[in-house]
Amino acid sequence: MIQYFQRAAAVLGVVAAAVLLEGCAAYFNQPTRPQPARLGEETAVTSELRKLPLPREKVVAAVYKFRDQTGQYRPSETGANWSTAVTQGATNILLKALEESGWFVPIERENVSNLLNERKIVRSSMAQYKNEAELLPPLLFAGIILEGGIVSYDANIITGGAGLRYFGTGASAQYRQDRVTVYLRAVATKSGKILKTVYTSKTLFSQTVGANVFRFVRFKRLLEAETGYSTTEPSQMAVTEAIEKAVHSLILEGIRDNLWTVDEKQAKAAQEALAEFDTEKSVMSETDIYGGRDVVDPSRITLQPYVSALRYQGDYLTQGNQTGYGLTGELYVTPSFGLQVNAGLGSMGSEGRFRQSISTLEANLIYRPQAFRRVTPLFYAGAGVVSMRGERPISFLGERFWKVSGGVGAEYSLNNVIGLRATAEFHQPLTDKLDGRVIGRYYDYYWRGSLGASLYISRSGRRASSLKKAK
């Protein structure tokens, strides 16, 4: 029993260390004094804007108002919060993105009344000293007007966490994901025609990680310690990245539709940029709102050889860990639901008490909820038989006992031929004679964990057909 507790404490320590080290960058950079002013950070898309092929001629663009159209206030768990969820200065961010791209000549329109008033002052001052013909030149007029705004801010689209506590020592982690969406459209000044509309989105990630110890190390001696940190992705950075991505997409869409042209020397670079953009759009057409992507054509027939470990629990006070092996076959009626047959050989026993070789055969219903994903969880349950065996696997001795079982697992598809699978199962024989002793009213039972390779014999072809229909 003491060894069991020591092992559990060791596992807990490893988990706590992994949780803390996962975010060590934030943990070891906590502010301890005031920080000086610095230049603004760049997003991952800023460099992509600067790498775009150069235009033949820059487009004069006007932005009157790029509004926050969400009407969303910052989420709060402590009560009302009247701070807006996203920045109200999105126009400034868009103008900066247009300048960074090198494709546009942004002109002032948001506060054009201030500009006109100042020009009146300049004109009246200059009129006293110069002729009327030498007054201010006319203002630039825009070839296109960029409209749109931040259309949504969705809080807590994904929340979750994990924690573990043992004898007053524990660690936990919680996370939350929000989402901001931006629409951007280009309008022709002369005709009012909407030339192109694009939309982009960006998630905001927040997490809280902590670990603590609270226990008596000896009589009247209490040890208490805790540590942790929280990080929240700034909404302004998320809005900036979404707007920059919208400008990047608008430029490439315009190149494809001949709304504007690239420099002749940049033709090859433009083709490469469009090819990368087409690949990105193809990937996004297969990606859901939570970032999951259907990339696997699910198998219809699967064979899985595996090795296993069995842990017995019965009428003996001590438990034992034994090994085994087996073969699983699966036939899927739909991409998610199927039938499973599992044949296994192994040993079951109690340390220093008994050891018995067993054979098992089960038939299960299996469900894989993410059949088209590279990683999918597995859930299955069914019934079968367990029997004692002799020296040879096909040599059965004694009685055969009915049992019910259930399990969970996960499968990772390496390619269209092979994958890896790990499972954990609970087996409940409908007898108390499994270990040769009948004590009390509870049945003997055992756990089985397995690790093996999944061989895909036949594919369903569902994903390929669905992609053809989408195209």
**218 and 354 inside one domain:** no
Which H helix or E strand runs over 40? Answer: none
Q: pLDDT at position 4, please?
A: 42
| Residues 6 or more apart whose Cβ sits within 8 Å of residue 329 | 301, 302, 303, 304, 340, 341, 342
What CATH number is attached to the domain comprising 411? 2.40.160.20
What CATH number is attached to the domain comprising 189? 3.40.50.10610
**109 and 161 inside one domain:** yes
Q: Beta partners for 146?
A: 186
Q: pLDDT at position 134, please?
A: 61
**254 and 338 inside one domain:** no
**81 and 189 inside one domain:** yes
CA nearest to 371, candidates 432, 447, 294: 294
Asked whether residue 309 is domain-assigned, the answer is yes
**200 and 67 inside one domain:** yes
* Count of CB atoms situated within 10 Å of the CB of 301: 15
Tokens of 112: 């054009």
**193 and 331 inside one domain:** no
**242 and 360 inside one domain:** no
pLDDT tens sequence for the chain (471 residues): 444 444 444 444 444 455 445 555 566 667 777 888 888 888 889 988 998 999 999 999 999 988 888 887 777 766 656 778 888 888 999 999 999 998 999 998 888 888 889 888 888 877 777 665 566 788 888 889 999 999 998 888 888 998 888 888 889 999 999 999 999 999 999 888 999 999 999 999 999 999 998 888 888 788 888 888 888 888 889 999 999 999 999 999 999 988 888 888 888 888 988 999 988 888 887 777 777 776 778 888 999 999 999 888 776 666 778 888 999 999 999 888 999 999 988 887 777 677 778 888 999 999 998 888 888 999 999 999 888 765 555 555 567 888 899 999 999 988 888 999 999 999 988 877 776 667 665 677 889 999 999 999 877 655 544 444 444
- Give Cα 199 distance to the centre of its chain: 20
Asked whether residue 36 is domain-assigned, the answer is no
Tokens of 452: 């093996």
Q: pLDDT at position 467, please?
A: 42
**275 and 317 inside one domain:** no
Looking at residue 66, the DSSP 8-state letter turns out to be -
List Cα–Cα distances, 213 to 21, 168, 230, in angstroms.
17, 6, 19
| Boundary-marking domain end, from 260, 285, 310 | 285
CB distance 66 to 91 below 8 Å = yes
Q: pLDDT at position 3, please?
A: 45
Radius of gyration for the alpha carbons in the chain, expressed in angstroms and rounded:
33
Identify each DSSP E strand in 189-275 by its residue range. 194-218, 221-232
CB distance 358 to 384 below 8 Å = no
| Boundary-marking domain end, from 252, 285, 318 | 285
Give dist(CA 380, CA 450) in Å, integer.
14
Q: What is the DSSP string of 94-157?
A: HHHHHHHHTSEEEEE-TTHHHHHHHHHHHHHHHTTTS-GGGSPPPPP--SEEEEEEEEEEEEEE
Collapsing DSSP states into helix, strand and coil, what is residue 469?
helix
* Count of CB atoms situated within 10 Å of the CB of 371: 22
Give 3-state DSSP helix, strand, coil % of the chain, rounded to 5. 25, 45, 30
Asked whether residue 291 is domain-assigned, the answer is no
**254 and 384 inside one domain:** no
Q: Residue type for 299, please? A: S
Longest CA pairwise span in the chain (Å): 118
| Boundary-marking domain end, from 236, 259, 285 | 285
- The model carries a pTM of 0.73
**95 and 19 inside one domain:** yes
- Give Cα 385 distance to the centre of its chain: 41
Q: How many domains does the chain have?
A: 2
**275 and 306 inside one domain:** no
Asked whether residue 398 is domain-assigned, the answer is yes
Q: Is the CA virtual torsion 254, 255, 256, 259 positive or negative? A: positive
Asked whether residue 35 is domain-assigned, the answer is no
Q: pLDDT at position 252, please?
A: 92
| Residues 6 or more apart whose Cβ sits within 8 Å of residue 311 | 319, 320, 321, 322, 446, 447, 448
Q: pLDDT at position 194, please?
A: 93
> Structural domain of residue 375, as residue ranges?
299-470
Burial (CB < 10 A; 0-12, 13-18, 19+), residue 78, is exposed
What long-range pairs does 199-202 form, CB within 8 A, spacing at least 24? 199/151, 199/246, 200/242, 200/243, 200/245, 200/246, 200/249, 201/242, 202/238, 202/239, 202/241, 202/242, 202/245
Q: pLDDT at position 267, please?
A: 87
Tokens of 136: 């201010």
Terminal C-alpha separation, the chain: 61
Asked whether residue 32 is domain-assigned, the answer is no
List Cα–Cα distances, 130 to 107, 121, 124, 134, 408, in angstroms.
27, 14, 10, 6, 87
* Count of CB atoms situated within 10 Å of the CB of 159: 12
Q: pLDDT at position 347, please?
A: 82
Q: Beta partners for 176?
A: 159, 206
| Residues 6 or more apart whose Cβ sits within 8 Å of residue 79 | none
Q: pLDDT at position 12, please?
A: 45
Asked whether residue 294 is domain-assigned, the answer is no
Looking at residue 173, the DSSP 8-state letter turns out to be E
**202 and 304 inside one domain:** no
Give dist(CA 103, CA 46) in Å, integer.
14
